[in-house]
Structure 1
């Protein structure tokens, strides 16, 4: 299993949210560049980055930050937030970003997801964010009636190979991930599943690893000093070939 430390950007700053509420944005680091460098120093190979402004406005907002991190950090970068067109996909992939995450488009424009996967293959991931098992869109501001498992199966059918699953009620809470839902989605589809939301410490890393997931995203626990990234990376690799 791989560990993906997270940097969320709002207004050009590194922030964390509580349960996806933009009004709870808290600055957690001075610079995305020095933060990325510290993740690299700790042994990370990937970094998960989200354009929160982009997710809300449905367009690229903080793209220069993500491109610079991809270019200078030595990390593989996956980016999500506001990516709704092939132009946006190509913008990132042509500038060194390793994987682009499509979120709201999975619900609102599945034909676009299919087009992106056909053109870019495994460099496309889909983010499925849910409340009570129902998918939310547009920076978690718009709830749908789509079941998260149903959406995962649709995405599998159009060729998506990687899904990032977030239980919004867990995100930023340090309350532990939703292991039941993660296990369900991992069993329901053949896609690689990345867990997101609620990681509070090393025991949660062991728990997600035990489910056989592809990866786990760590955010607030790192910034709050409750999880050591180097230990998390070493623990995630135990008993696996990843």
Structure 2
């Protein structure tokens, strides 16, 4: 299992939210460059980045900054937030980003996902964000009538290989990931599943590894000091 330390960008700053609520924004590092360097120094090989302004505004907002931070870090990077058309996909991939995450587009423009997968294969990841098991979009503001497993199956059918699953009620809470929903998802699709939301301590990492998920995104736990990234990385290499 890989660990992906996270950098969420809002107004150019490295921040965290509580349950996806933009009114709870909190700056958690001096700069995204410094945060990324700390991840690299701890031994991380991957990093997860999100353009929060882009997710809310449905367009690329902090893309230049994200691409530059990714390049300077030397890490493999996946990026989400505001990627709504092929031009946005091409922007990131042409600047060395390894994977782009399509979230709202999977709900609102499934043909775009089909075309993106056709063009870029496993560089296309789908982000499924759910509250009470139902998918949300547009920076988690818009609700839908699609169950998260149903959407995952649809994405698998069109060739998506990797899914980032977030339980919104766990995100930023340090309350532990939603193991039940993740376990159900792992057993319903053959895609690589990256768990996002709620990771707080090493025990959470162990629990996720036992579910046989592909990856775990860790954000607030690292910034708060609850989770020692270096120790977590060393442990996952032994599991």
Q: How does 1:110-189 map to 2 (within 5 A)?
A: 110-189=110-189
SS at match of 1:176: coil
Stretches of structure 1 that go unaligned for 5 or more consecutive residues are none
Query: How far is the alpha carbon of 1:71 from its aligned partner?
Result: 1.5
Query: How far is the alpha carbon of 1:73 from its aligned partner?
Result: 0.8
Query: Residue by residue, what CA displacement relative to the aligned partner does 1:158-212 show, whole Å, maximum 9, x if unpaired?
Result: 0000000000000000000000000111111000000000001000000000000
Query: For residues 219 and 119 of structure 1, what CA distance do their matches in structure 2 show?
Result: 31
Query: For residues 9 and 70 of structure 1, what CA distance do their matches in structure 2 show?
Result: 12
Query: For residues 238 and 132 of structure 1, what CA distance do their matches in structure 2 show?
Result: 34
Stretches of structure 2 that go unaligned for 5 or more consecutive residues are none
Matched, 1:107 2:90: no
Q: How does 1:19-168 map to 2 (within 5 A)?
A: 19-168=19-168
Name the structure 2 match of 1:220: 220
Name the structure 1 match of 2:234: 234
Query: Residue by residue, what CA displacement relative to the aligned partner does 1:203-227 show, whole Å, maximum 9, x if unpaired?
Result: 0000000000100000000000000
Query: How far is the alpha carbon of 1:70 from its aligned partner?
Result: 2.1
Query: How far is the alpha carbon of 1:32 from its aligned partner?
Result: 0.4
Name the structure 1 match of 2:12: 12
Query: Residue by residue, what CA displacement relative to the aligned partner does 1:83-122 show, whole Å, maximum 9, x if unpaired?
Result: 0000000000000101000000001001000100010001
Query: How far is the alpha carbon of 1:13 from its aligned partner?
Result: 0.4
For the aligned residue pairs, the C-alpha RMSD in angstroms reads 0.6
Query: How far is the alpha carbon of 1:69 from its aligned partner?
Result: 1.8
Query: For residues 178 and 238 of structure 2, what CA distance do their matches in structure 1 show?
Result: 22
Query: How far is the alpha carbon of 1:235 from its aligned partner?
Result: 1.6
Pairs aligned (count): 239
Query: For residues 115 and 78 of structure 1, what CA distance do their matches in structure 2 show?
Result: 19
Query: How far is the alpha carbon of 1:76 from its aligned partner?
Result: 0.5
| TM-score of the superposed pair, with normalisation by structure 2 | 0.99
Query: How far is the alpha carbon of 1:237 from its aligned partner?
Result: 2.1
